[in-house]
């Protein structure tokens, strides 16, 4: 297999970083194609925790080339801070990390606007406050600063001037905020450009070249399919294409198609921020999963909302991204519970619905549950119990794709490749 994608099949935080890190061992390139530092990919190696936000998770493998594609939005200050942090853990240089010259830059006013809108309302999205949405807005309106613009002061002044007056008026009169003077923003961004310039390349041609040399490429998704700007639970979504389609627009897979698309899903469901969540648990069981699973955002520190596994949502994700298999994470959190359920369908206006199609109002969806005998596995290297096998078999039979991988702890080696499953290896 030459091309592989790892994508969140729920609302993010599924444990993609861990699966990416594991499968990166057999890949030559790991490519991020969307999102920005709103992501938080946590990887544990030998008891040491590393959280990556915009730098691809392949960076912990010395043989891997890590690539930040043009679909990513990059906040230069944060990127450089993350870089210097990761350099204490592993060697990262312009030889093994490449940044697209046409990735979009997140500026000071994007962050200010993101925060101001969340305070002002009227409808709160519960964003990470990193300026992601406003940066993508500027991209679509053709006013964005690209990474290559940071490298030439005249271009930077010209590009930044577009819309700056409009933004200054908006901030002053609507939000009563003064944005930084254009001169200081130019100086700030130009200085960052000088620091990161050695990492900047045309990543599309790099990926093209590597694919034609037969190299193996892993595309690493951030957030999850249900947060996709087009496929997700709009407006409670992020502003990028988190589904597999985002790979073609945000990085490119020239001359090839994706051979394997692994959807990473938790053994239950979580969500941060606002938006519908049919299987959300407001009782002690939800609190237990939140605490036992340490369900706290790696980027924002917010508590995640928790609920039972939701098959209709996953069925929809499989269809949106042509997922070829599932990697099921955090099974250890469900071990030893007193009860165990999976939502297999919804009742909506008296009808039974088994896929969370966008035409369904998820606020009105009543989850229908199947009860399972709780499993009590200790995951000490033995075979999974019959109860755990039943739980996983139900998922794969209902989704029509295998649960090929499962994970039962945060470390790189707390992962099992199920019998006969060889994808990604
Ligand atoms: P934004 O991406 O900061 O604009 O936030 C939009 C929505 O996506 C909010 O509900 C966030 O909580 C959610 N979100 C963004 N990034 C992540 C992530 O990495 N994990 C989970 N949720 C996320």
Predicted confidence at residue 243, as pLDDT, reads: 98
User: In testing the pocket of ligand 1, which one of 32, 54, 238 has its CB within 8 Å of the most ligand atoms?
Assistant: 238
Helix axes 182-196, 153-161, angle to 10 degrees: 130
Predicted confidence at residue 420, as pLDDT, reads: 67
CATH class of 104-196: mainly alpha
Give the alpha-carbon dihedral of 107, 111, 116, 118, to 10 degrees: 140
pLDDT band at 125 (very low <50, low <70, confident <90, very high): confident
DSSP H or E run through 49 = strand 48-52
Q: Whose CA is nearest to atom 8 of ligand 1?
A: 238
Query: Which numbered atom of ligand 1 lies nearest the CA of 132?
Result: 4
The tens digit of pLDDT for each residue in 338-369 reads 999 999 999 999 999 999 999 999 999 999 99
Q: Report whether pLDDT(122) > 80.
A: no
Which of 163, 156, 168 lies closest to 192, judged by CA?
Answer: 156
What's the rounded Cα separation, in Å, for the pair 339 and 343?
13
User: Known catalytic residue: 13?
Assistant: yes
The tens digit of pLDDT for each residue in 127-173 reads 999 999 999 999 999 999 999 999 999 999 999 998 888 888 988 99
Residues 6+ apart with CB under 8 A from 142: none
Q: Tokens representing 332?
A: 């250890």
**Average of per-residue pLDDT values in the chain:** 94
Query: What CATH number matches the domain at 3-99+199-250, 3.40.50.2300, 3.40.440.10, 3.40.50.11540, 3.80.10.10?
Result: 3.40.440.10
Q: Report whether pLDDT(119) > 90.
A: no
Query: Which numbered atom of ligand 1 lies nearest the CA of 38?
Result: 16
Query: Which numbered atom of ligand 1 lies nearest the CA of 129?
Result: 3
Predicted confidence at residue 189, as pLDDT, reads: 97
Q: What is the mean pLDDT of residues 315-331?
A: 97
User: In testing the pocket of ligand 1, which one of 73, 273, 301, 306 has its CB within 8 Å of the most ligand atoms?
Assistant: 273
Which of 155, 218, 303 lies closest to 4, judged by CA?
Answer: 218
Residues 6+ apart with CB under 8 A from 222: 8, 12, 16, 32, 34, 35, 36, 38, 39, 41, 240, 242
Q: Where are the beta strands (DSSP E) in 202-316?
A: 217-220, 260-266, 269-271, 305-307, 309-310
Residues 6+ apart with CB under 8 A from 114: 127, 129, 130, 131, 132, 133, 134
The tens digit of pLDDT for each residue in 36-67 reads 999 988 888 778 888 899 999 999 999 999 99
Predicted confidence at residue 48, as pLDDT, reads: 83
Q: Whose CA is nearest to atom 11 of ligand 1?
A: 127
Q: What is the DSSP letter of 72?
A: S
- Centroid of ligand 1 to alpha carbon of 387 (angstroms): 34
- Centroid of ligand 1 to alpha carbon of 238 (angstroms): 6
- Centroid of ligand 1 to alpha carbon of 333 (angstroms): 23
Q: Where are the alpha helices (DSSP H) in 198-243?
A: 203-212
Q: Whose CA is nearest to atom 9 of ligand 1?
A: 127
User: Among 28, 37, 41, 53, which one carries the catalytic annotation?
Assistant: 41
Q: Whose CA is nearest to atom 22 of ligand 1?
A: 12
Predicted confidence at residue 422, as pLDDT, reads: 65
Predicted confidence at residue 425, as pLDDT, reads: 60
Paired sense of beta strands 305-307 and 269-271, if any: antiparallel
CA angle 160, 128, 320 (to 5 degrees): 95
- Centroid of ligand 1 to alpha carbon of 129 (angstroms): 9
Predicted confidence at residue 221, as pLDDT, reads: 97
Quote the pTM value: 0.95
User: In testing the pocket of ligand 1, which one of 14, 127, 246 has its CB within 8 Å of the most ligand atoms?
Assistant: 127
Predicted confidence at residue 359, as pLDDT, reads: 94
Predicted confidence at residue 348, as pLDDT, reads: 97
Query: Which numbered atom of ligand 1 lies nearest the CA of 240?
Result: 2
- Centroid of ligand 1 to alpha carbon of 237 (angstroms): 7
Predicted confidence at residue 410, as pLDDT, reads: 87
What's the rounded Cα separation, in Å, for the pair 50 and 113?
29
Predicted confidence at residue 238, as pLDDT, reads: 97
The percentage of residues in the chain with a pLDDT greater than 90, rounded to a whole number, is: 82
User: Known catalytic residue: 63?
Assistant: no
What's the rounded Cα separation, in Å, for the pair 242 and 223?
6
- Centroid of ligand 1 to alpha carbon of 379 (angstroms): 31
Q: How many residues does the chain have?
A: 425
Query: Which numbered atom of ligand 1 lies nearest the CA of 130?
Result: 3
CATH class of 265-417: alpha beta
CB burial of residue 349 (10 Å; 0-12, 13-18, 19+): exposed
Q: Where are the alpha helices (DSSP H) in 56-152?
A: 76-86, 108-120, 132-140
What's the rounded Cα separation, in Å, for the pair 72 and 78?
13
Q: What is the largest CA-CA distance in the chain?
A: 66
Q: Where in the chain are the domains? A: 3-99+199-250, 104-196, 265-417
- Centroid of ligand 1 to alpha carbon of 272 (angstroms): 7
The tens digit of pLDDT for each residue in 302-313 reads 899 999 999 999
What's the rounded Cα separation, in Å, for the pair 270 and 279?
9
Q: What is the mean pLDDT of residues 177-193?
A: 94
- Centroid of ligand 1 to alpha carbon of 299 (angstroms): 9
Lining residues, ligand 1, CB within 6 Å: 11-13, 38-40, 125-128, 130, 132-133, 222-223, 227, 236, 238-239, 272-273
Q: What is the DSSP letter of 368?
A: E
Q: Report whether pLDDT(424) > 70.
A: no
Paired sense of beta strands 41-45 and 403-407, if any: unpaired
Predicted confidence at residue 148, as pLDDT, reads: 98
User: Among 13, 21, 114, 138, which one carries the catalytic annotation?
Assistant: 13
């Amino acid at each position: 297999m030459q091309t592989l994608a790892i994508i969140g099949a729920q609302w993010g935080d599924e444990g993609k970083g861990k699966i990416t890190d594991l499968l990166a061992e057999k890949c030559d390139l790991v490519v991020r194609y969307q999102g920005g530092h709103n992501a938080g990919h946590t990887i544990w190696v030998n008891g040491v925790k590393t959280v990556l936000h915009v730098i691809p998770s392949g960076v912990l493998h010395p043989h891997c080339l890590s690539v930040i594609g043009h679909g990513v939005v990059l906040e230069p200050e944060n990127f450089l801070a993350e870089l210097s942090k990761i350099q204490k853990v592993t060697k990262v240089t312009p030889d093994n990390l490449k940044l697209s010259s046409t990735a979009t830059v997140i500026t000071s006013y994007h962050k200010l606007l993101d925060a101001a809108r969340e305070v002002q309302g009227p409808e709160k999205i519960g964003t990470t406050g990193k300026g992601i949405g406003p940066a993508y807005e500027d991209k679509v309106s053709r006013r964005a600063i690209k990474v290559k613009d940071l490298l030439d002061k005249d271009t930077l002044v010209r590009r930044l001037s577009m819309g700056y007056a409009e933004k200054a008026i908006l901030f002053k009169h609507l939000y009563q905020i003064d944005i930084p003077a254009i001169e200081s923003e130019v100086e700030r961004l130009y200085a960052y450009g000088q620091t990161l310039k050695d990492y900047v390349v045309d990543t599309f041609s790099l990926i093209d070249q590597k694919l034609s040399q037969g190299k193996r490429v892993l595309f690493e998704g951030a957030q999850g399919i249900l947060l996709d700007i087009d496929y997700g639970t709009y407006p409670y979504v992020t502003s990028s294409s988190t589904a597999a389609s985002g790979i073609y627009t945000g990085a490119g897979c020239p001359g090839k198609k994706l051979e394997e698309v692994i959807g990473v899903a938790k053994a239950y469901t979580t969500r941060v921020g606002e938006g519908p969540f049919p299987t959300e648990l407001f009782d002690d069981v939800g609190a237990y999963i939140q605490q036992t699973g340490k369900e706290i955002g790696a980027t924002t520190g917010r508590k995640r909302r928790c609920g039972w596994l939701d098959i209709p949502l996953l069925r929809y994700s499989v269809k949106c991204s042509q997922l070829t298999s599932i990697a099921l994470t955090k099974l250890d959190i469900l071990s030893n519970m007193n009860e165990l359920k999976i939502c297999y369908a919804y009742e909506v206006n008296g009808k039974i619905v088994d896929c969370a199609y966008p035409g369904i109002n998820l606020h009105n969806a009543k989850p229908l549950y199947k009860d399972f005998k709780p499993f009590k596995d200790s995951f000490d290297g033995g075979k999974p119990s019959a109860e755990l096998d039943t739980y996983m078999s139900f998922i794969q039979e209902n989704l029509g794709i295998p649960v090929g991988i499962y994970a039962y702890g945060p470390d790189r080696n707390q992962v099992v490749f199920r019998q006969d499953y060889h994808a990604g290896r």
